[in-house]
Copies of this chain bind each other. A is one copy, B any other.
Amino acid sequence: MIHITRRERFNAAHRLFRNDYTDEKNLEIFGKCSNPNWHGHNYELFVTVAGDINPETGFLVNLKDLSKIINEKIIDKLDHKNINLEVDFMKDKLASTENLAKAIWEELQNPVEKLGAKLHSIKLYETENNFVEYFG
């Protein structure tokens, strides 16, 4: 079995909070991440796909195609955006790294299959110390 991974990056604002929590409870659960005026991150996204090597090209998938899909479906919607307010696939979801990784999986699963590969994992770094991996 072989995996190939493409790294892409985006810079976005977000906030962690619940409308049905008091400000005190939001602060207790979400800490500084609940700041009403937003904060942001340089997110690093690693998309890993699995499959067989095409004997004609030596490629699992053409990375040019994979990168194009990731940019159209994900990066163009997230880069220099507010995750809570502007990203269709995050509407009505808490803007946690976990939920974001899962939503990115759901956006990419079908397009990756059309390339002839299987989506294996979404790895998403929020900071150099924290990252999430989602396997479907």
Contacts and interface: CB of A to CB of B under 8 A. Distances in A.
Contacts of A109: none
A57 B13 contact: no
Contacts of A1: 134-136
Nearest to A80: B32
Interface of A: 1-9, 11-14, 16, 18, 29-33, 35, 37-42, 48, 53, 56-60, 62-64, 79-82, 85-86, 93-99, 101-102, 127-136
A103 to B, nearest CB: 11
Given A58-B98, A93-B58, A98-B2, A42 B131 contact: no
Given A31-B64, A96-B58, A37 B82 contact: yes
A136 B2 CA distance: 8
Contacts of A11: 39-41, 127
B2 A133 contact: yes
